[in-house]
A and B are shown apart, each in its own frame.
Chain A
Amino acid sequence: MSRSYTSCEARWLGAVSLATVVLGTIALSGCSRPYLFMRTINEEESRYVRFQARYGEGQDGVALKFAHPVTLGEPEWAHLLDNIVIQEQKKLLAPGAAQPAPRSAFDEDEKRYLAKHLAEGFQKARPDEWVVFYLSHPREPGVVEIDSGGFFIEGERLRLIVANYRQPVSMAFIREQIWNDPLRPAGDSFYDVIPQSYQALQTVRRKDLTQSLLKQVPELSIDYSAQLNDDVSSDGEAVGSSIEDRLRILKRLRDRGLISEEQFRMRQERLLERL
């Protein structure tokens, strides 16, 4: 009897030990986080734009080279942001209810704020730094809505990861988690990013950059030169709010070699004809 009882105890001890090891390993593996280095570009109580270097998740400062710094002005950023479009997902069991139309992801105030500080940030960003953002608005007592994500430029493409969009948060520790790591998705999203001209949406996880992200998040890849170039040459409502803004953008594009001297003159004349 005593041998049997001891054996039984040993079995349970073994099982519990195994459980401890397995679960402890899982917990510890989950605790491994990237090292984040932040520099502030602008910070207010409810929003910021920062530089963020991420280490420890398959990238390092030597291997990872973004095409930073990049000079783009506020009007250019405003236009690029204006072309980031989202659409609320269709609801389950909502017969007859129309899906809301796609709309610009950021409101005018957000666009002004982001454009100003993205322009400033990308002029100073190092090759290993994202430019990340956090925007929050009160939704109702006890709940704030948070947008967060980050930009970087690889080659000729601007990349945007929207980790949280209109994410309602009621607990301060989740707000702090997003504040401390804006690339960390806090939950499910009920919005889709809708790619526009010169944009492509990647839904696969970027293991080199976002391995630590808990969820698969949309990554928008934008051929920003083509988008800006196209908009300057178009006759519709486009970059900036004035001819002056557009001329300034045109000059910048020429100075950066994104358009030729001939293209510059042709579009400059076209713009000046409107005066």
Chain B
Amino acid sequence: MGQIALQTELPRRSLPCGATVIVLALAVLGAIVLAAPQESDAIPAWARKYDADCAMCHYPVVPRLNSFGQQFRRAGYRTPSEFNKDQDLTNVGNFLAARIRAQLAYDNTKGTVERSEFRFPDLSLFYSGALTRNFSAWIHAFSNNSTSVDFHGHVQGIYGDSDGFISVRVGQMHMLQQEGVGGFDRPTGISVPAIHALTLTGTSVLANGAAQAFHFDLRQKGVEVAYVRGAGRLLFQITNGLNQAGSGTANLGDIDPQKDYLVAYERILDEIASGFTLFYYHGTNHGLVTPVGTTGAPTSIGNRFDFSRYGFNLSKIFPVGGLGFFEIQGGYIRSHDNNSSLVGSPGQLSRDVEGNAFYVESQQYVTGPELTFFERYSWIDLNAPRPNSTRKDYTIGVVMPIQTRLRTTAEYTYTDNRLSGITGHLALLEIQANW
């Protein structure tokens, strides 16, 4: 009956592009699920080193870490028994890993051309691990939708034992997103929660310098000192902050004597992946910068103002009988930009731009087929005193490991940005390989 109904309807109204892409994506995903042996996760370098399946360090799928994996990362890629022990550096396979992500995307954003496209968001090479009794290093070379290659990396020193130690990192590193706990780790799906990956303040008054480009999914150059005791970690980062392009990584470097700093406390709550993070970030933003000479050193800096971000993030995982796990995750960030250039601007009540942002997410991990469903609602008020300054994102998706080394994800996000007046649909089907 269903087939007959479909056949009679199709000539009258063909499926639209967006739905076609989603149906195609689901069909591919379904075929993969039903046809493939359902094995788990990937095998990066450390899985080879320790003769371990990925589930020793990851939940529910690579690359998100479970608590053991979090402790392993905190300790400079050491297991508890490896503290203060020499490392064997002869086996390249224990340090070298690669990742590739390929996507089919459908994007229908108001004001732009509806399109579907193949994307290539990530081709990565890692060479990382513990090098000596106390030191370790992380090198990440990657290409993102282009032929240009970017690098980042850091050196880390560990002093103490597995119960309590001090960690010092120097180099270019992630701040909280991608490296934290309680929802600050890598996302289970494809996209990072909007409040961690997008600017959190904005105004339509000024074209330049008003909107603050900072977010927590940036890599910055600087130093981090952390103290780890049991499940808790207290960390302090001093970084260059953002340059005029809103980047923490551009070659220009810092353009003033001020440094940004981040203070955070994070705690692992169970052996799976529950945890929370409390954080405070203070930084300096720049308007137009005029660089001269071959080094690009600036001769003048435009509007400069302080800003701060603080809040918390939390995730808690509950078992559901023998069927799997249910996770609730969320976070809140309060933003404050002390922007004197806004004084007297029409529609702007004061020099301050106050932003509020939160998200809630639930995840359901089904142990049999090892599927994880996720649903997320993000809400960002870019300028709290002003009306119609919110952005909302609704995201749903499913992720599943297929055979060793592979995972596939389907994700859909609907965005409603009242400040810009833009709404949009974004559907992604991604396959990721790690080896």
Contact = CB atoms under 8 A, between A and B. Distances in A.
Contact of B91 (A94, A141, A169, A172): A94
A24 to B, nearest CB: 10
Contacts of B39: 187-188, 214-215
Given A15-B18, A168-B56, A173 B368 contact: no
Contact of A171 (B66, B71, B81): B66
Interface string B52-82: 1111110100000011100100000001110
Nearest to B427: A15
A190 B56 CA distance: 14
B369 interface: yes
A172 B18 CA distance: 42
B367 to A, nearest CB: 7
Interface stretch (B26-34, B177-185, B279-287): B26-34
A80 B80 CA distance: 37
B51 A216 contact: no
9 A-B pairs with the lowest CB-CB distances in the bound complex, closest first: A187-B53, A30-B369, A93-B93, A170-B68, A30-B368, A92-B93, A140-B81, A190-B51, A93-B92
A88 B51 CA distance: 9
Given A94-B92, A168-B56, A15 B371 contact: no
26 contacts: A7-B13, A11-B18, A16-B396, A18-B26, A22-B29, A23-B371, A23-B398, A26-B369, A27-B369, A30-B370, A31-B369, A91-B94, A93-B91, A94-B90, A94-B91, A94-B93, A96-B90, A143-B68, A143-B79, A166-B51, A170-B68, A173-B367, A187-B41, A187-B52, A190-B48, A214-B40
Given A143-B79, A168-B52, A187-B55, A216 B37 contact: yes
Interface residues of A, number: 49
B319 interface: yes
Contacts of A93: 91-93, 96
Nearest to A185: B39
Interface in B1-45: 13, 15-16, 18-19, 22-23, 26-27, 29-30, 33-34, 37-41, 43
B245 interface: no
Contacts of A23: 26, 30, 371, 373, 398
Contacts of A16: 396
A243 interface: no
Contact of B272 (A168, A171, A180): A171
Interface string A137-157: 000111100000000000000
Nearest to A187: B53
B48 A91 contact: yes
Contacts, number: 145
Interface of B: 13, 15-16, 18-19, 22-23, 26-27, 29-30, 33-34, 37-41, 43, 47-48, 50-57, 59, 66-68, 71, 79-81, 90-94, 96, 162, 271-272, 319, 322-323, 325, 366-371, 373, 396, 398, 404, 410, 425
A22 B271 contact: no
A191 B90 CA distance: 21
A29 B369 contact: yes
Given A97-B90, A170-B68, A186-B55, A214 B43 contact: no
Nearest to B47: A188
B22 A170 contact: no
Nearest to B368: A30
Contacts of B425: 12
Contacts of B50: 168
A221 interface: no
A interface, by DSSP: helix, strand, loop or mixed?
A: mixed
Given A30-B38, A214-B370, 10 more contacts: A22-B26, A22-B27, A26-B34, A94-B91, A95-B92, A142-B71, A170-B57, A171-B59, A173-B272, A215-B37
B53 A171 contact: no
A33 interface: yes
A8 B53 CA distance: 45
A133 B370 CA distance: 24
B56 A214 contact: no
Contacts of B370: 30, 214
Nearest to A205: B37
B80 A31 contact: no
Given A19-B22, A92-B48, A140 B38 contact: no
B244 to A, nearest CB: 40
B53 A188 contact: yes
A136 interface: no
Contacts of B96: 93
A199 interface: no
A266 interface: no
Contacts of A97: 90-91
B23 A15 contact: yes
A175 B215 CA distance: 39
Contacts of A140: 79-81
Contacts of A8: 16
A265 B300 CA distance: 104
A64 interface: no
- For A30, A91, A95, A169, the residue with the greatest tally of chain B CB atoms inside 10 Å of its CB is A30
Contacts of A14: 19
B90 to A, nearest CB: 7
A196 interface: no
A167 interface: yes
A177 interface: yes
A168 B53 contact: yes
A143 B22 contact: no
- For B40, B53, B371, B425, the residue with the greatest tally of chain A CB atoms inside 10 Å of its CB is B53
